[in-house]
Structure 1
Amino acid sequence: MSDALPSNRPTVRESVMSLCNSHARRQFVDVINHFPDEVGYILERYGSIWIHEHQVMELKLTACERLNYHQTHSLPVLAEIKLLGETHLSDGSIEENSGLGKAIRYFIKHYVGLSCFCRISGVKLDNNQIEAMLKIVVRDRKNAMFHKTLLGATIGDVITSMIATGSEAGINVFEYFTLLQREQDKVKTNPENYLPWNYLEHSNI
């Protein structure tokens, strides 16, 4: 899954290419001030597919059940938005090259990839979670300009990785780092005991 940039498409082999609905939704959000009525309705309808996903999670449906649920509830919403956009463009009520016209054309052009979660089991609605993780790497790359030496940059990379891993493990990273320094001899002897997801079992806390 990715956005629709050509540079993100695989070149090594053929694969299923699902596209991020948050990127498509953002196309409409960016022009809502210029087209409040039209975009407001589209965003209201578009937002319902995330409501459906939350309902899937609450019901703890299996992947197959989730697929059936989205086919029943979300696919008609996507089809409605596509038809609405096609109607606006064909009757000239929205200029094709306007901001909203471009958002509609983006949605129509990439409809197959955007609706992939309604056709293939396990496909996500959006790529938000992974992009949030990637931003950690991007931020570290930007901050790397302020490292004085290559060694300093390497240490910064390690620390960034540990922070990200600790956050994913759901621990208090500050307390974790403090413990690693306080019990550094034990950490060196048995580092596997001080991995973020099991250090509490082996520390003196």
Structure 2
Amino acid sequence: MAAENILKGFRGYLQTDGYAAYKKPGMQEGVTHLACWAHARREFYDAQSNDSKRAGEALQFIQKLYEVEREAREKGLDPAGIKKLRLDRSLPVINSMSKWIKEQLQDRNVMPNSAIGKALRYSAERWAELSNYLYDGRLEIDNNLVENAIRPVALGRKNYLFAGSHSAAKRAAMVYSFFAICKKHGVNPYEWLKHTLQNIMSINHKDIKSLYPQNFKPDM
């Protein structure tokens, strides 16, 4: 429910892991849902002890996709160049892997509840979402950037249980969010907070967005 409430009315690209709560928001009108190849890879990586041959073949397919991403970074390609490279090099790999997965799922030797069976179904059930990154060079192959950005929150989660009250926790979350925005935009949080506290009482409410961290100018 939380994901649905936050994303209600959202339009644009939505990249997530395989958590079921994102399925409904991902089907909203105007939303293009992207899955994460890092999570798909992890399923096959963990299945190596169950079926090393099939898991290894899947990892080889995925390795080729990441090689294309590495080449795009090394060449410093713009979004149009990245899209072209992906369609030329990654799309054939994805088509081959799609055919391979279907063949494995039809093999009676692959038990549905085995680790390799679950890994195959994980990707098969999200294949359109896993492929959507190909069609816009601004998109990422996985959501690792987001995962890395929220890691401090995840690591400190237990500490945030003792905010004192629900209202205090909400206020703390707002402060953490503002500081995270400062970090994203390279803004000194102390300078931003000082400027905001000095000006928030006198600014017109219609101009309140000018005090957001992303709009802060040190020379103001």
Matches within 5 A, 1:41-80: 41-80=57-96
How many residues align? The count is 195
Amino acid at match of 1:146: F
- Aligned partner letter, 1:45: F
Alignment root-mean-square deviation, CA: 3.5
Shift of 1:121: 4.5
Under a length normalisation based on structure 1, what TM-score does the superposition of the two structures give? Answer: 0.72
Alignment map for 1:1-205 (pairs within 5 Å): 1-8=15-22, 9-10=24-25, 12-138=28-154, 142-148=158-164, 153=169, 156-157=172-173, 159-169=175-185, 188-189=197-198
TM-score by length of 2: 0.68
The answer on whether the counterparts of 2:34 and 2:130 sit within 8 Å (CA) in structure 1 is yes
| Structure 2 CA distance for aligned equivalents of residues 75 and 162 of structure 1 | 39
Aligned-residue offset at 1:70:
0.7
| Gap runs ≥5 in structure 1 | none
When Rg is computed on C-alpha atoms for both structures, the one with the higher figure is 1
- Cα distance between partner residues in 1 of 2:157 and 2:107: 48
Q: Give secondary structure in 2 for the equivalent of 1:17.
A: strand
- Looking at structure 2, the residues matched to 198 and 45 of structure 1 have their Cα atoms a distance apart, in angstroms, of 45
Question: Partners of 1:108 and 1:151 in 2: how far apart?
Answer: 42
What residue number does 2:3 align with?
Answer: none
Question: What are structure 2's unaligned runs of at least 5 residues?
Answer: 1-14, 201-209
For the residues of structure 2 that align with 1:196 and 1:118, how far apart are their CA atoms? Answer: 30
Question: Whole-Å Cα distance in 1 between the matches of residues 161 and 52 of structure 2?
Answer: 42
CA contact (8 A) 1:140 1:160 kept: no
> Relative to structure 2, which stretch is displaced further, 87-96 or 58-67?
87-96
Structure-2 separation of matches of 1:3 and 1:170: 28
Mapped contact 1:18–1:123 kept (Cα < 8 A): no
Decide whether aligned partners of structure 1 residues 148 and 7 sit closer, same or farther in structure 2, where only a CA change above 3 A counts.
Answer: closer
Q: Secondary structure at the match of 2:32?
A: coil
The one-letter code sitting in structure 2 at the alignment partner of 1:144 is Y
Which whole-Å CA distance do the structure 2 matches of 1:107 and 1:30 have between them?
Answer: 14
Identity of aligned residues (%): 22
Once residues 187 and 37 of structure 1 are traced to their aligned partners in structure 2, the CA distance between those partners, rounded to angstroms, is 59
Distance 2:170 2:127 in 1: 42
Secondary structure at 2:140 match in 1? coil
8 Å CA contact 1:20, 1:114 repeated in 2? yes
1:60-111 per-residue CA deviation (whole Å, 9 max, x = no partner) reads 2222221110111112222222222222232434333321012112222221
SS class of match (2:92):
helix
Task: Provide the secondary structure at the position in 1 that maps to 2:33.
Answer: coil
CA contact (8 A) 1:32 1:39 kept: yes
